[in-house]
Amino acid sequence: MKRFHMLLCALLLFTVISGCNAAKQDGGKKNIELTVSAAVSLKAALEEIRDEFEKENKHINIHFNFGASGTLQQQIIQGAPVDLFFSATEDKFDLLVKDDIIETRRNLLGNEIVLIVPKQSNLDIHSFDGLGNASKIAIGTPEVVPAGEYAHEALKSMGLWNKVEPKIIFAKDVRQALTYVESGNVDAGIVYRTDAKHSKNTEIASEAPHGSHSAIIYPMGILKNTKHPKDSERFYDYLQGEKAMDIFKKFGFKGLD
Which residues does the annotation place in the binding site?
41, 69, 147, 174, 192
237, with CB counted inside 10 A (0-12, 13-18, 19+), is exposed
Pairing state of beta strands 102-110 and 217-223?
antiparallel
Give dist(CA 230, CA 219) in Å, integer: 20
156, with CB counted inside 10 A (0-12, 13-18, 19+), is middle
Candidates 249, 251, 248, 111; CA nearest to 190 is 111
3-state helix, strand, coil in the chain (%, to 5): 45, 25, 30
Binding-site sequence positions for molybdate: 41, 69, 147, 174, 192
**How far, CA to CA in Å, does 174 sit from each of 15, 66, 189?**
51, 11, 10
Cβ count near 34 (within 10 Å): 24
Candidates 77, 140, 105, 142; CA nearest to 219 is 105
Q: For the chain, what's the residue count?
A: 257
Give Cβ neighbours of residue 91 (< 8 Å, ≥ 6 apart).
none
Give dist(CA 143, CA 145) in Å, integer: 6
Give dist(CA 70, CA 51) in Å, integer: 26
